[in-house]
Structure 1
Amino acid sequence: MRTVLFAAALCASGACLAQNAASWTSLDAYANFETAGATATIAGDADRDATIALEMRRVGDPAFRTAHPLVRVDATHLVGSLFALAPNTAYEIRATLTDPDGVTGNAVRTLTATTRIDTLVEPSLRTLYVSPAGSDGANGLTPGTAVQTIQRAADLAQPGDVVRVAPGVYRESVTVPRSGTASQPIVFRGDGNGVVLDGSATLPADTAWTALANGVWRTTLAFDTGHVVGEQGRLYRYGSLAALGALAAGAPGGYWFDGATRQLHVKFFDNQAPAAHTIHAARFENGFVVDGRAFVRIENFEIRYFGAGDYGKAVYLRYASDAIVRGNRIRDIGAAGVWVKGGDRHRIEDNAFTDTSIAGWPWDSTKGSSAENSAVVFTDDVGRGHVIRRNTTDGGFNGIAPCGGSAPPGAFTTEVDVYRNDLRRHNDDAFEPEGWCANVRIFDNTIRDSHMAFAVAPAAPGPTWIVRNVAWNTGNTRTSQTDGYTASALKINSGYPEAVGPLLIYHNTLVTTAPATDALNLLNPGNATLLRTRNNIVAGTRYVVAKVNPIATDMNYDLLYTTDPTRFARWMNVSYANLAALQALPGLETDGVQAPPQLVAPAAGDFRLAAGSAAIDRGAVLPGINDGYAGAAPDLGAFEFGDTIFANGFESTAQ
């Protein structure tokens, strides 16, 4: 009783107010090319009811503009983002702290952030030449004195050098021994078409093969391998001779490598002898390795068939910084096209990642196997400021995984941007922002025919921004249609104790015509905090939304539709026949609309709104997200009707 009386006396004296009053600790900003992040750290506010409004203006502009408010991600951090910024431009950011319990000290803080220069620096020191006809005893300084291997050129390269690699097949792994500088990077450039970095040995036609039972053939290699590809595509890696004989993964075939004897066993789905096929067996684990270096650029190569062990990578950026991987064609790699471990400010752009066989293999066979690969994957403490843009991915198990496993050294947010990528035919997750995802922005991407569009399982501490993306025909995969796994545009079930951080799902077009497929299915298990949706088009062929996960939801102003006349939504094991019934739940889609999306030609890749669509002028105004809308209100989905102001995913008027 005395404790209660003492607490009451404290509140009467104003001590409760002092305990809960918020105060600034710091305000930090981090800018990329077209975005910037703001991270506020506050003290006090024990009841977590403080908010922070955000405003911005280009330095020199007369007035501030309202931006999206900061989002609370834990007891002391509120995080936000600015979109549609211009490169190489200074912006002033103003944050205003508000707390019903009061604010200690100045409520307003300002700072300036300058976006990065979006240019490629051309080195000016020397040109080094590489040619299959060259000699590693030459100096490499002229085409006539070209070296023969890329590795020899790398050993010679200094800051400011361009390594020009002539067309040909280079069977090697390349380690970059030194860094460039910001003004004088080291550039490795494929000089025209047909410059191939190949991690394999192609088994010659006269390879001695021994026929075994059940269609299996055997030969002995002079090296270890963990990845084999035929002319029909990647072969599945089996764990035993018996498993290879069963060929459970199916076409085009498989292999088993006995490390004790270096014997390679293969079986093809057509039961032909291996002499009838072209077989590439990986000899090297990695293509380019940039370990602890900075300002290195790799461009215009075909990189293929790496994976002598368990983690084959086309490009491995290990605790490197400011590397650029661009314009490459990366295919049939063991584990990852580009693998990022630590470091800051990498640019992975304009690459084409392909894998030949995985889309046809059973999910149960692929998950947990050597074929559970990704086009781009980030691991461990991935640093800050990475940009992954304008890439295409096709056929890998997963597409892009932009989060590492822990916070970047000395910082809270990762500030990773993933935009204008085109992802297709992933038998698991197109985007896999899982791990330490803090101010990760995924915008203006197109996803087609993948099992899951966005897997945030778990993405923490947040926020994760999913803005103005298109996901078409989620669930149109073997995993969904044959193997029996539930597809969804958003995956939040993880089985991990970490909670999914705040998810901000704005202005996306999430439409599937795959048979018997929910548009959104929020599955268990997994802890979650907040899912906020605004101005999306969500359409499926079964339930438009099914929810059993207890994640807190703030869903409104979305167009919801299903082609199934017997179903609409299923919410915490209760079915709702239509939007009106769903709106009986407190605060759920109060301003939503139930209608067909009416897109121009989605099957042909045109996801714009057709005239007369119920999505026109039905959205909520979201400062900093859709400021430049046309008409009476923002339109729903990824595109604004009748205008091109959203051609880059955001309004041009914010520039």
Structure 2
Amino acid sequence: MLDSARVRRRRGAITAVVTAAAALSLVATASPGLAAPLPADATGTSYYVSADGPAGADGRSPDTAFRTIQQCADVAQPGDTCLIGSGTYRETVTPARSGTADAPIVFRAAPGAKVVVSGAERLTGFTPVGQNDLAAVVAADPFAADSLFSRAVADRKIFSVPADLGPAGAEAQVFTDGAMDIEASYPFPGTDLLDPVVERAKAGSAGATIVDPALTRPAGYWNGARALTSYWYITTTGTVASSAVGSVTLTTAPVCVHKVVPTDTWYRLSGKIGELGHPGSYFYDAQAKRLYVYSDDNPNRHRIEAKARDLAFDLTSASHVRVEGVGLFASTIRTGGTSTGVTLDGIDGRYLSHYWDVTRGTTNCGENVTRGVADTGIVLKGTGNTIRNSTLRFSAGNGVSLGGYGNTAVDNAISDVDYAGTYAAGVAVQGHSQTVMHNTMQRSGRSGINLQWNGVAGTTTGPDRIAYNDISGYATLSLDTAAIYSCCSARMEGTRIDHNVLHDPNPRPGGVYPFGMSGIYADNGMSDLQIDNNVGWGNPEGTVELNGLGSGSHDNAVYNNTGGMTLFYVREPGQSTGTKIYNNIGPIKGIDRATEGGLVLSNNLLDGDPLFVDAAAHDYRLQAGSPARNAAIPLPGVNDGSTDPVPSLGAFQYGAPAWQAGVRP
């Protein structure tokens, strides 16, 4: 069975630093094990599935195993188990019926089996692109005659195959030997989209023109190309209307607050076959329905695949279903608004979602900010659904999206998400009463957790709980964000954000607008949050950031955090009434006149040496001589546990066992 990813963490002091390899490792045994004993919790019939099962089998024994998981899903009744043998299953599994609370339907990898449900289909029959083929391409695009592509053809590095990958070339997704290839583009970003090579505008305007001497292609070359631009907190896509040596002009200016700002705006141009000249790249001609790949050897010797399906398991009409120990490739799992009691356990998901068309015709912040937030990654809607013990890597959108209410994400290792650079996140939290605990999140284009607030018709709203998560490497593609980001002008019903470790954002180098980047950011008038016992380092704006712009930052409780904070737009009368900032350790930016807005500051250690055990190693427990001891306002349920008569300031009570964040062993 695929073992769930577990992060091994140091004991004693705060155990905050986790290597990507440890956080995201997945162990699988080699034996397919279909004939192994049935699980002890099986309450109904157990069916068998094997990738090489005989046609017409009934699934009742290993020798008569179903060939597809869907065949088992068609017959499984409440209490039944589909025991799945090793193999790659290229299908979308849709249960014919739901289980019950006492008798769920279970889809489980057999003991020792490595199961992958794939949304991709294999492509074969690639042929080398020769001079005659090149002439046909040049007839359609004369600029391809003297290009990276034509030189790669001469070097016998380009191969092609007929393929229908949909009507939009930029939305295609191609893989070689399990790794995603990159669309031909300038600049070629490399194969790590969370750490891409970028080119920045050297001049421009609030209009639609990018000026850059690095744009050396001849006039007209980029006409009709797709343009991705990113500035501040907005990534947009558009079309090039005209181009000259040293500049491109888009059909419309980037939307929202986005604009072309010298040295800050970075861009990427694609949709031209002439740029196909780098290992690991492809070009898809949607009109001719032909895929071109750059390869140092014959691609038929490799496993070339293209995404064909979004869903591995379609649970939008299902409840009380369990999926255990199953791998996902180029696909995901989605529940629906009426789903309840769905549990996903030990999922190994890679390439959960993919898209590049961000703006999609909007003329304001709208969809270009939010595309993918509610419907990408593992999507849990409905109520009472859980994903746990899972490893999720690579997504243009989220790792997990929680909609509805009362859903849970716990003990998951999530990385390399939001490579499209929108408001997607490691975990996107919408709806209400959601729980996100003990997850380790690394490398996100924007935030680790994007915390929004939506009522659900017919339900009584309740607080979310965001706790004991370890989040690092956020803000790789976007600024004005946080490891845990929330916005805008919402009352959060007492949502608690506590005991999180938030550290080391990784913004793109070279820009001059380093705004934002905090551990927890309550942006543009968020109210009724409790933010306590969080630790952060490497965050330019500190562990906590409050921005009262808009409706004001009211009734927030900011207690016992370590790592400093920033206060914005909370100084005018009435702008921050009811907000209490107690017992924190670290400097506070914007503290001058802050109390004029109505907030109360008390018992905070703003400067001087707190005498941590080992700050250099991120051990923020207190030494015996620390001035933070016996200095806090007692807050039951927040700063309990000190061996002193009075609680300590900061996130660790003196003498109490140190809490730990991230995935539990």
- TM-score bracket for this pair, using the shorter chain length: 0.5 to 0.7
Query: Paired residue for 1:436?
Result: 454
Indicate the residue corresponding to 2:590 in structure 1. 570
Partner of 2:380: 340
2:427 alignment partner, one of 388, 392, 400: 400
Indicate if the aligned counterparts of 2:439 and 2:470 stay in contact, CA closer than 8 A: yes
Q: Distance in 2 between matches of 1:195 and 1:417?
A: 28
Q: 1:538 to 1:122 in 2, by over 3 A?
A: same
2:563 aligns with 539
Partners of 1:215 and 1:561 lie apart in 2 by 53
Q: CA 1:464/1:450 → structure 2, altered by over 3 Å: closer, same or farther?
A: farther
Change in Cα spacing, 1:536 to 1:625, as seen in structure 2 (3 Å) is closer
Following TM superposition, by how much is the alpha carbon of 1:627 offset from its aligned partner in structure 2, in angstroms?
Answer: 4.4
Distance 1:611 1:627, change over 3 A: closer
* Cα deviation, residue 138, structure 1: 0.7
Tell me, yes or no, if the aligned pair for 2:642 and 2:653 is still in contact at 8 Å: yes
From 200, 205, 227, the counterpart of 2:120: 200
Q: Which residue of 2 aligns with 1:621?
A: 634
Offset of residue 151 of structure 1 = 1.0
Aligned to 2:342: 323
Q: Residue 410 of structure 2 is aligned with which of 379, 389, 392?
A: 389
Q: 1:504 and 1:524, CA in 2 relative to 1: closer, same or farther beyond 3 A?
A: closer
Counterpart of 1:350 (choices 389, 392, 395) is 389
- What amino acid does structure 1 have at the position aligned with 2:61? T
Gaps of 5+ in 1: 1-119, 307-312, 359-370, 405-413, 563-567, 650-655
Greater shift, 184-193 or 223-232, is seen at 223-232
Contact kept, 8 Å, 1:351 with 1:391, in 2: the verdict is: yes
Please give the residue correspondences for 1:119-518 in structure 2 after superposition, counting only pairs within 5 Å. 122-191=41-110, 192-204=112-124, 206-208=125-127, 210=129, 213=144, 214-216=147-149, 218-224=160-166, 226-231=172-177, 233-236=179-182, 240=225, 243-245=270-272, 255=282, 257-265=284-292, 279-306=304-331, 313-334=332-353, 336-341=376-381, 343-355=382-394, 371=396, 373-379=397-403, 382=404, 384-397=405-418, 398-404=425-431, 414-436=432-454, 438-451=462-475, 452-458=482-488, 460-478=490-508, 484=514, 486-493=516-523, 500-509=526-535, 511-513=536-538, 518=542
Change (3 A) 1:602 1:464: farther
Question: Contact 1:228/1:305 (CA < 8 Å) preserved in 2?
Answer: no
Residue equivalent to 1:84: none
Which structure ranks higher in relative contact order (CA pairs < 8 Å, sequence separation ≥ 6)? 2
- TM (norm. structure 1) is 0.63
| CA–CA separation in structure 2 for the residues paired with 1:274 and 1:517 | 48
Aligned length: 471
Segments of structure 2 that go 5 or more residues without pairing to the other structure are 1-38, 135-143, 150-157, 186-223, 227-268, 355-375, 419-424, 456-461, 476-481
Is the Cα–Cα contact under 8 Å of residues 448 and 471 in structure 2 kept in the other structure?
Answer: yes
2:603 aligned residue: 591
**Structure 1 residues 493 and 226, CA gap change in structure 2 (3 angstroms):** farther
Identity of aligned residues (%): 25
Deviations 1:619-639 (A, max 9, x none): 332234444444223334444
Q: 1:133 to 1:587 in 2, by over 3 A?
A: closer
Amino acid of the structure 2 residue aligned with 1:488: S
1:305-330 Cα shifts (integer Å, max 9, x gaps): 12xxxxxx344445311100111111
Amino acid at match of 2:416: G
Shift of residue 247, structure 1, vs aligned partner: 11
Q: Is the contact made by 2:640 and 2:653 (CA closer than 8 Å) also made in structure 1? A: no
Question: Separation in 2 of the partners of 1:315 and 1:354?
Answer: 17
Query: What's the CA shift for 1:506?
Result: 1.5
User: Deviation digits for residues 357-379 of structure 1, max 9, x if unmatched?
Assistant: x7xxxxxxxxxxxx2x1111134
Tell me, in whole angstroms, the C-alpha distance in 1 between the residues paired with 2:474 and 2:93: 33
1:643 pairs, out of 656, 659, 663, with 656
In the other structure, the counterpart of 1:63 is: none
**Alignment check: 8 A CA contact 2:583 2:633 kept:** no
1:261 and 1:615, CA in 2 relative to 1: closer, same or farther beyond 3 A?
farther
Stretch deviating more after TM superposition (421-430 or 180-189):
421-430
| Post-superposition offset of 1:609 | 4.4
Compute the displacement of 1:295 (Å): 0.6
Question: 1:139 & 1:168 partners in 2: Cα distance?
Answer: 19
- Given candidates 639, 644, 662, the residue that maps to 1:631 is 644
CA distance in 2, matches of 1:199, 1:603: 45
Distance of 2:653 and 2:95 partners within structure 1:
46
Question: 2:260 is matched with which residue?
Answer: none
1:215–1:267 contact (8 Å) kept in structure 2: no
> How far apart are the structure 2 equivalents of 1:323 and 1:296?
5
The corresponding residue for 2:360 is none
Tell whether the 8 Å contact from 2:410 to 2:439 is kept in structure 1 after alignment. yes
> For 2:557 and 2:466, how far apart are their aligned partners in 1?
14
CA distance in 2 between partners of 1:588 and 1:348 (Å): 39
CA distance in 1, matches of 2:550, 2:303: 45
1:175 is paired with a residue whose SS is: coil
CA distance in 2, matches of 1:470, 1:251: 41
SS in structure 1 at match of 2:51: coil
Amino acid at match of 2:319: A
Once the 2 structures are TM-superposed, how far is the Cα of residue 350 of structure 1 from its aligned partner? 1.1
Q: In the aligned structure 2, how far is the partner of 1:622 from the partner of 1:463?
A: 19
- 1:128, 1:153 within 8 Å by CA — same for their partners in 2? yes
Q: Which AA in structure 1 matches 2:499?
A: N
| Aligned-pair CA distance for 1:587 | 5.2
Distance 1:298 1:429 in 2: 28
Contact 2:605 2:649 in 1 (8 A): no
| CA separation of 1:620 and 1:263: change in aligned 2, threshold 3 A | farther
TM-score of the aligned structures, taking structure 2 as reference length: 0.62
- Deviation, 1:647, is 6.1
Query: What letter is aligned with 1:545?
Result: T
| Cα 1:588–1:264 shift into 2, 3 Å | farther
Amino acid at match of 1:220: P
Are the structure 2 counterparts of residues 629 and 258 from structure 1 closer, same or farther at C-alpha, using a change threshold of 3 Å? Answer: farther
Bigger share in strand: 1
- Residues 555 and 374 (structure 1), Cα distance of their counterparts in 2 relative to 1, 3 Å cut: same
Deviation at 1:477, TM superposition (A): 3.6
Task: Please name the residue that 1:367 is paired with.
Answer: none
- Relative to structure 1, the CA distance from residue 354 to residue 596 in structure 2 (aligned partners, 3 Å threshold; closer, same or farther) is farther
Which whole-Å deviations, capped at 9, do the CAs of 1:110-153 have from their partners, x for residues lacking one?
A: xxxxxxxxxx9934111111111213511111111111111111
Q: Which amino acid aligns with 1:283?
A: A
RMSD of aligned alpha carbons = 3.9
Q: Do the aligned partners of 2:500 and 2:661 also contact (CA within 8 Å) in 1? A: no
CA contact (8 A) 1:136 1:152 kept: no
Matches within 5 A, 1:41-190: 122-190=41-109
